[in-house]
Structure 1
Amino acid sequence: MRKRAIYIEDGAQISLIRVMLTDGSSANVIHRLAFACARTKVLSPFALLFQHINRIYNGCSIGTKANFAGGLALMHPIGVVINSKVIAGKNITIESGVVIGDEKGLSPSLGDNVFIGAGAKIIGNVTVGNNVKIGANAVVVKDIPDNCTALGIPAIARLNER
């Protein structure tokens, strides 16, 4: 029987099980299970159970209906709080201590290829475009257009130079 492995950038080989047990991967898998259960009336009680497990095991609170298109990477999920109404595109990278929350019942939406640095906050009815980088501890309260980097409190967006 062949052992399944994943290769990382430097050519090192690590097992698939080891990857799944890392905190970011397990938080993502548990959230995906909660999201799948939340979409089915019969399984919806299990969604809250999975959310609670994620809170205890990984130290993060991701709403059961938070919708990520694919490619979610939680680098260090401790302290991450994501509202249930968040809708996000593909390839989202989130570092520790990030809050993506609602204000007055309105939640942010994220485009594709978004990086959110440690401690950043995205609050309210905000649209974050595609190919955006949000710096550590930035507070985003206004829309960020495509291909920008946002830094500061409140965050100021600057167009990425190529």
Structure 2
Amino acid sequence: MKQIIADIRYKQRFYQSQGFYTSFTRALSSDGTLAVLLYRLSAFFVTCKLSPLAWLTHKVNVFCTGCVIGVKAKFGSGFVLLHPIGVVINSKVKGGDNVVLESGVVIGDEKGKAPTLGDNIFVGSGAKIIGDISIGDNAKVGANAVVLKDVPANTTVVGIPAKEVVRKAP
């Protein structure tokens, strides 16, 4: 329950950082929260060795939200889906705290190995993160980027294949 509240609180703070005042109730009722709640519930059932309930909850999530999150995927507190439609996350994926995903994001494995996401990650709409790679803390992945190599901490990547954005000095 603590993790679910932390997810909603982080979503509230994320919206506020974008310039939108959002109450806890508004964050709770906003798009994507149901998908996270159902994912957390299915993950809880897995830890309790209640696989049939985990599978059922997973299927309800797919049907109701259009979002596929593997029941064994692990995310820390502050997991936020802004728009769940088309999000697909493999069961082997590990994510840290404060991971924010937009719609259409795919985080998948290749040859049995899946990505690891650090803390304070933002992934834009339609981005694909595939294979045995890591996304460093405080990284951002631009919309529709295809990430096939490690992303260092404090970096923004864009494009196909994803490349670091070079910032000009002021």
Q: TM-score, normalised by structure 1?
A: 0.87
| Residue 58 in structure 1 maps to residue 65 in structure 2 | yes
Q: CA deviation at 1:21?
A: 3.3
Any conservation in 2 of the 1:91–1:114 contact (CA below 8 Å)? Answer: yes
Q: Paired residue for 1:24, among 29, 32, 40? A: 32
C-alpha distance in structure 2 between counterparts of 1:23 and 1:159, whole Å = 33
Aligned partner of 2:106 among 91, 99, 115: 99
Partner residue, 1:131: 138
Distance 1:125 1:22 in 2: 32
Task: Give the gaps of 5 or more residues in structure 2.
Answer: 1-8
**Quick one: structure 1 residues 15 and 131, their matched pair in 2 at CA, closer, same or farther if it must change by over 3 Å?**
closer
CA distance in 2, matches of 1:68, 1:150: 21
Post-superposition CA distance 1:6-48 (Å, at most 9, x none): 98747867562x543333111111100001111122x121111
Aligned-pair identity (%): 50
| More helix, by proportion | 2
Paired residues, what number?
Answer: 155
So what's the TM-score if we normalise by structure 2? 0.83
**Root mean square deviation, CA, Å:** 2.2
Once residues 155 and 12 of structure 1 are traced to their aligned partners in structure 2, the CA distance between those partners, rounded to angstroms, is 33
Counterpart residue identity of residue 78, structure 1: I
User: Is the radius of gyration larger for structure 1 or structure 2?
Assistant: 1
Considering fraction of residues, name the structure with more strand: 1
Gap regions ≥5 residues in structure 1: 1-5
